[in-house]
Structures are given as structure tokens and as C-alpha cells.
Structure 1
Amino acid sequence: MVLPHVEVKVVDPATGVTVPRGEPGELCTRGYSVMLGYWEEPEKTAEAIDPARWMHTGDLAVMREDGYLTLVGRIKYMIIRGGENVYPREIEEFLYRHPKISDVQEEVAEFCRERLAHYKVPRYVRVLDAFPMTVSGKVRKVELRREGLGAAGEG
């Protein structure tokens, strides 16, 4: 929910143009809650806050018709495949709906092919007993990516 005297918008990360409701883009916010900048780091400040004082959060979000936002991932985790933007969190959330998946595991490709656009279907599936986690309980995506590229023979 947006607080009084705070503005939010969802923009295309490449162009900065506001996207229509229902479309994913970068979440931006402006108002009293936005910092003035990073201490003695004007370059870093310019990366996060544009001249109109919009803070670019790096979060990918969809603004629903009712004005509420759904976070769908982070820009740095977005994958471009076949010219299309793929958001890993969207795929993960979809896969959790499969009755045999506790975290993401087998029978996945067929399940996806029947229900997702072709460019969103995972190319590789790797079954793990557990995900590598941070002490705060978040999945270590960088470590997963590194291990996944090695297992796929791509890195």
C-alpha cells in the first residue's frame, strides 16, 4: 500500500517509460521516504535516484488494476531469452503449484510446456536436496547460478 505523500510507478527498465497496469517493470518511488542520496557518493546516488527524485529500487513489480503492487523479482536476476524478459521468481512461484514440488524438482519441463509460454520453460532442471541459504533465510541465487552454469556446461 502506498502511504500518503508518497508516489510509486512501474517503468520499463530500459527506457524509464511508465508501463501499463498488469505489465512488469521496475518499481520507482518518490516522496518524503526517499533518501537524499548516498553519503559522499554522487555516482552511486545518480544510479539510484534520477533528476526528478524518483528512486529506482531494482525491484521488478506489476501494478494491478486495484493499484496494489505484486513484486515479481529483481532486475539483476532477470534473464533475456529469445528477446523476451524472463523473471525467475515468476517461474519459481508457478512451479510451486505443481503437487510434487516442494522446491523446484522433476517432471518440471512437461508441467511447464503445458502451461507457460515456450521461452519461459526452463532449459535445464537440476534436483537438489536443499538450496544454499544465507543466514537470513534467503536463497543464494549467485551461488545457484554459478553451480547451474557449471552443471549445464556453459560456464
Structure 2
Amino acid sequence: QTCMNTPERNVQVGFGTSELTTAAIVTSNDDPDDKQLNTVGRPLPGLEVKIVRPQHRHSAANGHAGEVWGRGPNVFLGYYNDEEKTKEAMTPDGFYKTGDVGVMDNEGFVTIVSRLKDVVNRGGEKVYPTEVEELFNTHPSVQECHIIGVPNERLGEEVCAWIVLKPNEKVTDGELKEHCKGKLSHFKIPRYFIYDAKVPKTPIGKPQKAQMRLLATQNSAL
């Protein structure tokens, strides 16, 4: 947003992986402002991208979430000396399964909403962490929010929010749940809350959700 208010505006948002060689989905300075701000753009020429529902292995309708798959001349041929990993990542017809969850609109713009492994499966209902995290991050007392799934005997997984509060701020579970009312479907509202400023992160600052899930399951309050 800040860059778009400058005269040059020469900033583009993109999505890519090492397996896709480079940024494979990119915005253009000619795209509408809302597309530049809220999406990662459209696939580059020559790259075929589709959104696939992993449980059914068929393409999701526009506006619906699924795993981002890509096929084209820029897609890698496989992992060196690792045939098994290559088979897991590639389809027989040459699509690379990115492991990222995205949504494509009717104009071909893609929005990335989560990592597939981070999606919470609550009794068959899919909860995409980014949607919930973004809502909690608008609360005046919250500095960071990370949504994870924790084991639940009846539902398989239950939604848990790992909350980092701003200095000298206090908040209750009830207040945070109230913040969600009318903005989230009931099944997306976390049942559990962990308040801990020590978020497991990689050296470059990326949250380690697998470690967070492990620590959460060891929490006797859950």
C-alpha cells in the first residue's frame, strides 16, 4: 500500500517456489489496485496453473480454495536422486503440487491463503489459518496471532489460537471470541487460546507451526 502511493509504483507481488524456478504468478503495474494489494497476480505466459481440491483430485471452481498446481517449461524435472519425493510432488501429467492453498477468481488472479499442511480439519470443515489470523490481528490488544490445529477425539482437530499480546495489554478468551462474532463462521472461532510471547520461529522469522502444535498438545489446559 505504501509503495503504491509513491510516484514510481514499481513494485510487483509474486508467488513462486524453487521447483517452479522463479516467480510463476505475478502482479502487473497495470492490474487494478485491489488485485495488486490482495492477490499474487496471474500466471506468467506458458505456465498452466489450476486449483485442485486435494481430497477429490479435481479442479476447484473459481472462488473456492484448493492446492495450487503448476505445469509448464519452467517446472523442475524432479529431486536429485530422490524418486519417491519426486513422485509425491509431481503428477503423471507433469503438474507440480506446491503444497500451498490458493483461490483463483474469474479473471485468473490467485490469492494464497495457507500452507496445505497448516489447514485445520475440524470435523470435516476446513479452517484456513490466514483468515482467522488476519481478523485477530485487527484486535487492539493483539500483536501476533497464529492459528494451529490440536488433536480432538470427536472432531479430529480443534482450532487453537496462539496469541502474542502487545506490551501491557490484557484480554480474555471471551473478548477474543466476541471479536469474531459476525465475522467468522462458528466452526472457525478458536476453542482454545494460548498466550505466549515466545513463538517458535526459524532464523529468518518464519513461525514453526509444527513445533507450535507439539507445544500446544503438551499444554495441560487444552
Q: TM-score, normalised by structure 2?
A: 0.65
Instruction: Report which of the two has the higher share of strand.
Output: 2
Paired amino acid for 1:116: L
Write the distance in 1 (CA, Å) between the matches of 2:98 and 2:191.
29
| Counterpart for residue 146 of structure 1 | 214
| Counterpart for residue 124 of structure 2 | 83
Write the distance in 1 (CA, Å) between the matches of 2:182 and 2:195.
20
Q: Of 48, 51, 59, which aligns to 1:18?
A: 59
Conserved? CA contact 1:82–1:119, under 8 Å: no
| Counterpart for residue 101 of structure 1 | 142
What are the equivalent positions in structure 2 for 1:1-150 lying under 5 Å apart?
Answer: 1=26, 2-104=43-145, 105=163, 106=171, 107-150=175-218
Long gaps (5+) in structure 1: none
Which protein is bigger by CA-based radius of gyration? 2
- Shift in Å, 1:98: 2.2
SS at match of 2:92: coil
Q: Alignment identity in percent? A: 38
Q: Which shifted more, 21-30 or 107-116?
A: 107-116
SS at match of 2:193: coil
Q: TM-score, normalised by structure 1?
A: 0.91
- Assess, with a 3 A threshold, how the Cα gap between structure 1 residues 31 and 80 changes in structure 2: closer, same or farther: same
- Shift in Å, 1:132: 2.0
SS at match of 1:125: strand
- Shift in Å, 1:149: 1.6
- Assess, with a 3 A threshold, how the Cα gap between structure 1 residues 7 and 127 changes in structure 2: closer, same or farther: same
Conserved? CA contact 1:61–1:69, under 8 Å: yes
| Counterpart for residue 22 of structure 2 | none
- Shift in Å, 1:29: 0.3
Write the distance in 2 (CA, Å) between the matches of 1:99 and 1:64.
32
Write the distance in 1 (CA, Å) between the matches of 2:111 and 2:102.
5
- Shift in Å, 1:56: 0.4
- Shift in Å, 1:68: 1.3
Equivalenced residue count is: 154
Over 3 Å off, 4+ runs: none
Write the distance in 2 (CA, Å) between the matches of 1:14 and 1:152.
33
Conserved? CA contact 1:28–1:54, under 8 Å: yes
Write the distance in 1 (CA, Å) between the matches of 2:220 and 2:103.
31
State the Cα RMSD in Å: 1.6
Conserved? CA contact 1:22–1:63, under 8 Å: yes
Conserved? CA contact 1:132–1:139, under 8 Å: yes
| Counterpart for residue 168 of structure 2 | none
